[in-house]
Amino acid sequence: MHYLPLVRVHHTYAKSKASFLLPLFPGYVFLCGNDRDYELACQTKRVAQILHVSNQDQLRRELQHIHSVVESGRPVGLYPALRQGRRCRITSGALRGVEGVVIRRRGPCQMYIAATMLGQSAVIEVDAALLEAAD
């Protein structure tokens, strides 16, 4: 059994709107299986790394909760990567690779980009779906 939680993201580009699905946890697919399933996954040459989980029951419960939230249709975002004060990196778009610190995560997410030599920072609004932890 495998699971890839996907969330719907809405973007506005110039005058048009787009809606698409993105992984809730970029870079992760959850596989529940035995040693043989593990071997088969590794043989595909499409798996970079497998993280072993010692408490499978806890993982199942947590994934069931995640599934319920995703299926509810409510807006879902990643909290740890976006908590206030967390250093983040923009993952795509014109600002891809830009790093800053989250100063607001409710409503439009805001982050500051420091110019330490000047003792100043620029503040921008960025779609939270485009951020990942930079640590």
Using an 8 Å Cβ cutoff, are 4 and 70 in contact? no
| Per-residue pLDDT reduced to its tens digit, 56-105 | 888 888 889 889 888 888 777 665 556 778 888 888 888 889 999 988 87
CATH of 80-133, one of 3.30.70.1400, 3.40.50.150, 3.90.230.10, 2.30.30.30: 2.30.30.30
Interatomic CA distance for residues 93 and 71, integer angstroms: 27
pLDDT on residue 43: 92
| Per-residue pLDDT reduced to its tens digit, 7-60 | 888 888 888 898 889 888 878 888 888 889 889 988 998 888 888 888 888 888
Instruction: Sketch the domain layout of the chain as residue ranges.
Output: 2-71, 80-133
